[in-house]
Structure 1
């Protein structure tokens, strides 16, 4: 029997609301708090702005695009350089400017439309680009779990195996109520395994103040710092388009048209700009939460909003934030292992659903080059921004698709293509 789908606008039964929301929060948590740790700031402000940014995203997109906004990894390299040379306040200024430029880009898309996407990213190119969103993160999931360490800790393997095993079995075997929360159950089982293996230290939870305000920091602006961070806009625009398309494939709707790419892109960048103004890190739609929706069949924005509210609450309650932070990396890695794979599969699904004809050399070449570019490890440096993986593959796909489009218009393709 087919899995019960809860669509984007549907209300979720009260008994399901809390566990489903917690499930989404756990899915994004590990990656989202890593960025503030790398920047040397308290993650509480990030949890606060992730929640606020997600609620704003839902509001701006009229509740039609289910997405959770977490910390963006695209800014890490240039922001660390700015922090080292100027200080964190000047990195915040760069975040604000990039977010503002992203909002301007959204305005241009509103004026000129999105038909250009069909030209520069046809299905033969879009499929592998979307697949790469998940596939290039696969090593990150294994690294987070500690499986790529020079000496692998057996406890990491046990906790990773329990988490992933329960997630897999739960996704295909659980029924009724349990069938929509396999990720949450897997996290709990993995956490229990970690406790039994002696990997959890509850001291920070016991010592945390019950109520604590997040640390607010305000931006400073310097043209050199801004120019170091500004090229990231290429990365986040490509990433956003890919995420909206893969989410559309999961929920069975064209989100580029409704609510519109201009709305979702504006919401994403407005959240980044707002975050920069009060001391948080840039935000982006999260692949982990797309994976949760793909596995559970629950697409309701009500659940996403619930997760956002929990994130906001946890930023003020010290013991709760501390408890969440005790979730060990092998648990996060085990969940990510499955979620990233689901995103990769969604890219392949585009190729199948669109019935891409690989008897045509244009389609074969596009898919081949995009996959190899994304997985090869090639890095192109643009100022302080590194273009690699999915982003470089997306730019390559767009350039090649535009070139093939022009070849077709000027009748330069060979007879086989005609």
Structure 2
């Protein structure tokens, strides 16, 4: 196995590889996963617990055919903060439950009517830029974590960032055999050593933390107004999920929309969100960082992702271990994200190349151009407390444009139909 370049989805991994690969995967997901609970003022233990449970459920429901890690969803942040300020966190949990339930219902509708419509509303000329935007719109977050956008840039942060990014980039190129599949883990460890030497790691929380601790479980409360504030997030979640499944499929060379099926993956994703709301955690979603790790390491095994999920659950009960992981400075997360988010963007370009998109056709040029500008321009459309912007807004615009082109084709009103070109 050490001499193989790809570890496939269903491939079992021996313990000597499984443990470090699982640790690498968990660390890559950790930074973004704990950011959401920190914004909500929560202890991240319950979130680590639910991320692990949600990921294992996802693997089970999708029959081990869709390699995805479920982490904390950023889509819920804005409306949740509004609900928390007005009603309290328990009522935000009620909103999470309802959104998850609606997502499960949507998955049943897809099961009934199929997913062929995706090829119509998201052809390669639209899907490529939408997927690229998943990574590109996160690039600012990576730079912010690295401390490169601060008014006064700290030398120590830059050093840690460069060490982490440098080891990740050059390690992915020069490491061989087993080391070639854990460059991210090695980069995190190198960055952590650099951070200690630069004096920016504080071990006080580790010393103060209890060795064992239970996650803080909370039950939801329901209010119609609170639910209506959060409910429009279903548009964001559905668009994000479809994009992630398509780009993951492109990376691993399989059509995940067909097998295990979009209905299965969307049900698993939203069932996890519903369960999260019922026990007091934040909503979960398939993670872009997971896509980046797979693209970089060529490790697609669900056993590795499942191992990362189990480690996340274990960490949620060991207070000192959770505290230790939380001491990882943000420049390390920024250094890793710099590379992973860029690889997601590159995956979008790959869709255009693999799809052999013909830009001599007016519709393809228009689709890609409008989607990129919509996603990168900062345009926002508000629906209640929900803001549609970036990749999500670009995806919706691309779907509408593609559907209009499809209707115009049926009416024979377009001048660049494939049969006419041929």
TM-superposed CA distance for 1:57, in Å, is 0.2
Contact preservation (8 Å) 1:123, 1:350? yes
Take 1:354 and 1:34, find their aligned partners in 2: how far apart are those partners?
Answer: 36
| Displacement after TM superposition at 1:38 (Å) | 0.7
SS of 1:70's partner is strand
Cα deviations across residues 119-171 of structure 1 (Å, max 9, x unaligned)? 00000000000110001100110011110001111111000000000000011
2:278 — aligned with what? 277
Aligned residue for 1:149?
A: 150
**CA distance in structure 1 between the partners assigned to 2:123 and 2:250 by the alignment:** 15
Contact 2:93 2:221 in 1 (8 A): yes
The match for 2:351 is 350
* Equivalent position SS for 2:388: strand
2-structure distance, mates of 1:135, 1:258: 28
Q: Distance in 2 between matches of 1:7 and 1:81?
A: 43
Q: Does 1:136 align with 2:151?
A: no
Asked if 1:327 is matched to 2:328, the reply is: yes
* CA displacement 1:323-369 (0-9 Å, x = unmatched): 00000000000000000000000000000001000000000000000
**Deviation for aligned residue 1:415:** 5.8
Cα deviation for residue 414 of structure 1 reads: 2.2
Q: Any residues of structure 2 matched to 1:306-325 within 5 Å, and which?
A: 306-325=307-326
Which moves more between the two structures, 407-416 or 356-365? 407-416
Question: Where in structure 1 do 4 or more consecutive aligned residues deviate above 2 Å?
Answer: 414-418
In structure 2, the residue corresponding to 1:381 is in which secondary structure?
Answer: strand
Q: 1:390 to 1:3 in 2, by over 3 A?
A: farther
Separation in 1, partners of 2:278, 2:142: 31
The answer on whether the counterparts of 1:3 and 1:297 sit within 8 Å (CA) in structure 2 is no
Name the structure 1 match of 2:27. Answer: 26
Scaled by the length of structure 1, the TM-score of the pair is 0.99
- Name stretches of at least 5 consecutive residues in structure 2 with no aligned partner: none
Q: Which residue of 2 aligns with 1:38?
A: 39
Aligned twin of 2:233: 232
CA distance in 1, matches of 2:4, 2:377: 37
In 2, Cα distance between equivalents of 1:229 and 1:58: 27
Task: Describe the superposition over 1:227-284 as per-residue Cα deviations: whole angstroms up to 9, x where unpaired.
Answer: 0000000000000000000100110000000000000000000000000001000000
Query: Matched residues in 1 for 2:307 and 2:416: separation?
Result: 56
Secondary structure at the aligned position of 1:284 is classed as strand
Give the deviation of 1:416 after TM superposition: 7.7
1:365 paired with 2:366, answer yes
Aligned to 2:80: 79
1:206 CA drift (Å): 1.3
Moved more, 62-71 or 407-416: 407-416
Unaligned runs of 5+ in 1: none
Contact residue 67 and residue 300 of structure 2 kept, 8 A: yes
- 1:203 shift after superposition: 1.1
Q: How does 1:333-412 map to 2 (within 5 A)?
A: 333-412=334-413
- In structure 1, the residue corresponding to 2:210 is in which secondary structure? coil
**2:160 counterpart SS class:** helix
Matches within 5 A, 1:210-221: 210-221=211-222
Separation of aligned partners in 2, 1:194 and 1:280: 31
SS in 2 for 1:52: helix
Contact in 1 for aligned 2:361/2:416 (Cα 8 Å): no
Q: What are the Cα deviations for residues 5-48 of structure 1, in whole angstroms up to 9, with x where unaligned?
A: 01000011221111100111011101110101111111100000
CA distance in 2, matches of 1:361, 1:382: 32
8 A contact 2:135–2:288 mirrored in 1? yes
Partner of residue 169, structure 1: 170
CA distance in 1, matches of 2:371, 2:417: 22
Deviation string, structure 1 residues 350-391 (Cα, Å, up to 9, x no partner) = 000010000000000000000110000100001110000000
Query: Helix, strand or coil for the counterpart of 2:67?
Result: coil
1:49 alignment partner in structure 2: 50
1:386 match: secondary structure? strand
* 8 Å CA contact retained: 1:8, 1:65: yes
* CA RMSD in angstroms, aligned pairs only: 0.9
Tell me what 1:266 maps to: 267
Is the 1:160–1:330 contact (alpha carbons within 8 Å) kept by the matching residues of 2?
yes
State the distance in 2 between where 1:118 and 1:53 align. Answer: 29
Q: Do the aligned partners of residues 47 and 228 (structure 1) sit closer, same or farther apart at CA in structure 2, a change above 3 Å counting?
A: same
